[in-house]
């Protein structure tokens, strides 16, 4: 007898990953597809394409619940995505696609829930620390934006809580970061951490350093930029490989700000259960994160440095952790 199915989506500012899962079987994905958001006017056209694909059509009648994780605050089962402007409503998706039940959750609530679905091979340790059983866990991730999710132990398991802490005020920790803040104020007025610790933030850092006389892009980087659409990914790649001196400096500054923010959030939540660095950028620069500057910034908290040194910090290497969390939520919704 064919099993019931679950529909899930992890919708970020750059791409949306849709998946069809099998109810009752964690991580069993029957079909999956990644869509560039720039190619679509809204989520409905992406869902239409996915449900119409041959590998999905046969399972359509067996979908019992759907969960869409979205990069924006969720209230009343609706959300406007922060970096896309798309408005998404669960009730509208139910009607349009004849789905029995649809729930929207924040993308980092989904990522937080997906942590439990990962195996050890999908995590890289930056700091072993001294994990506290059932201690608060924290998930942080830079991509198109900067997401944060919190996990607290309640009853017999962890419960995920949303956060918009990525939009907290950027706090420089040295003179160079002071100058970066001053530079960004000319554009944004108020400067959040997301303006710095994100893909667009890395590009802003690169431009700031160039304007400040720190160097010019190499010929290799300029040539590569003619055929690559994602400038932030290119800067991260050339910086991590130490190919372009300006990209190296930009990535150094980015990683330092990233580590400082992660340490701030670890202090705010006392995440003794561990900090998980997720998002689209971290897996691509894992080697850079292991070099040490990220953890130096993480623990550099004056009287609380010793405490921060006890908190486990790991990089999530599986890019689909948010999809796993959305499938788990769809399973709960199906009852």
pLDDT value of position 28: 85
How far is residue 45's CA from residue 37's CA, in Å, rounded to a whole number? 10
Q: State which H helix or E strand residue 179 sits in.
A: helix 175-188
Nearest to 75 by CA among 106, 49, 47, 98: 106
Q: State which H helix or E strand residue 290 sits in.
A: helix 286-290
How far is residue 11's CA from residue 114's CA, in Å, rounded to a whole number? 15
pLDDT value of position 107: 95
CATH superfamily, domain at 5-113+320-334: ATPase, nucleotide binding domain (3.30.420.40)
Q: State which H helix or E strand residue 150 sits in.
A: strand 146-154
How far is residue 86's CA from residue 74's CA, in Å, rounded to a whole number? 13
Positive or negative torsion for Cα 217, 221, 223, 226: negative
Nearest to 151 by CA among 140, 166, 167: 140
Nearest to 165 by CA among 125, 197, 126: 197
pLDDT value of position 242: 94
Residues 6+ apart with CB under 8 A from 133: 273
Positive or negative torsion for Cα 280, 284, 288, 289: positive
How far is residue 101's CA from residue 65's CA, in Å, rounded to a whole number? 5
The answer to whether 193 and 147 are in contact (CB under 8 A) is no
The answer to whether 275 and 126 are in contact (CB under 8 A) is no
Domain boundaries, the chain: 5-113+320-334, 166-316
pLDDT value of position 3: 84
> Quick one: 317 exposed, middle or buried, by C-beta within 10 A (0-12, 13-18, 19+)?
middle
Per-residue pLDDT of the chain (335 residues; tens, 9 = 90+): 568 999 999 999 999 999 999 998 878 899 999 999 999 999 999 999 999 999 999 898 999 999 999 999 999 999 999 999 999 999 999 999 999 999 999 999 999 999 999 999 999 999 999 999 999 999 999 999 999 999 999 999 999 999 999 999 999 999 999 999 999 999 999 999 999 999 999 999 999 999 999 989 999 999 999 888 889 999 999 999 999 999 999 999 999 999 999 999 999 999 999 999 999 999 999 999 999 999 999 999 999 999 999 999 999 999 999 999 999 999 999 87
The answer to whether 116 and 323 are in contact (CB under 8 A) is no
Phi, psi of 286 (to 5 degrees): -55, -40
Residues 6+ apart with CB under 8 A from 291: none
pTM of the model: 0.95
How far is residue 121's CA from residue 230's CA, in Å, rounded to a whole number? 28
How far is residue 156's CA from residue 158's CA, in Å, rounded to a whole number? 7
pLDDT value of position 2: 65
CATH of domain 166-316: 3.40.367.20
Give the position of tokens 């108020």.
190
Residues 6+ apart with CB under 8 A from 236: 202, 247, 251, 254, 281, 284, 285
């Amino acid at each position: 007898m064919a099993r019931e199915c679950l529909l899930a989506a992890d919708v970020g500012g750059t791409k949306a990953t849709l998946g069809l899962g099998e109810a009752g079987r964690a991580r069993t994905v029957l079909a999956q597809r990644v869509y560039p958001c720039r190619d679509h006017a809204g989520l409905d056209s992406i869902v239409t394409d996915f449900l119409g694909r041959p590998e999905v059509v046969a399972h359509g009648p067996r979908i019992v619940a759907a969960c869409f994780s979205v990069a924006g605050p969720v209230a009343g089962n609706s959300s406007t995505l922060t970096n896309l402007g798309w408005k998404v409503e669960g009730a509208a998706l139910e009607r349009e696609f004849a789905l029995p039940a649809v729930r929207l959750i924040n993308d980092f609530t989904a990522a937080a829930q997906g942590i439990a679905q990962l195996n050890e091979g999908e995590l890289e340790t930056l700091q072993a620390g001294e994990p506290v059983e059932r201690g608060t866990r924290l998930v942080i991730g830079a991509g198109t934006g900067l997401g944060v999710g919190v996990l607290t132990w309640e009853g017999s398991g962890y419960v995920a809580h949303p956060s918009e802490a990525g939009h907290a005020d950027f706090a420089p920790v040295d003179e160079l970061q002071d100058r970066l803040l001053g530079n960004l104020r000319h554009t944004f007025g108020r400067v959040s951490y997301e303006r710095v610790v994100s893909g667009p933030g890395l590009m802003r850092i690169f431009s700031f350093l160039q304007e400040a006389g720190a160097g010019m892009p190499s010929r290799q980087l300029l040539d590569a930029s003619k055929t690559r659409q994602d400038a932030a990914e290119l800067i991260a790649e050339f910086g991590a490989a130490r190919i372009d001196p300006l990209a190296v400096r930009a990535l150094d500054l980015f990683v330092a700000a990233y580590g400082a923010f992660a340490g701030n959030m670890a202090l705010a939540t006392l995440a003794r259960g561990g900090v998980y660095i997720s998002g689209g950028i971290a897996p691509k620069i894992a080697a850079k994160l292991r070099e040490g500057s990220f953890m130096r910034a993480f623990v550099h908290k004056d009287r609380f440095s010793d405490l921060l040194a006890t908190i486990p910090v790991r990089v999530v290497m599986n890019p689909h952790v948010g999809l796993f969390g959305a499938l788990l939520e769809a399973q709960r919704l199906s009852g």
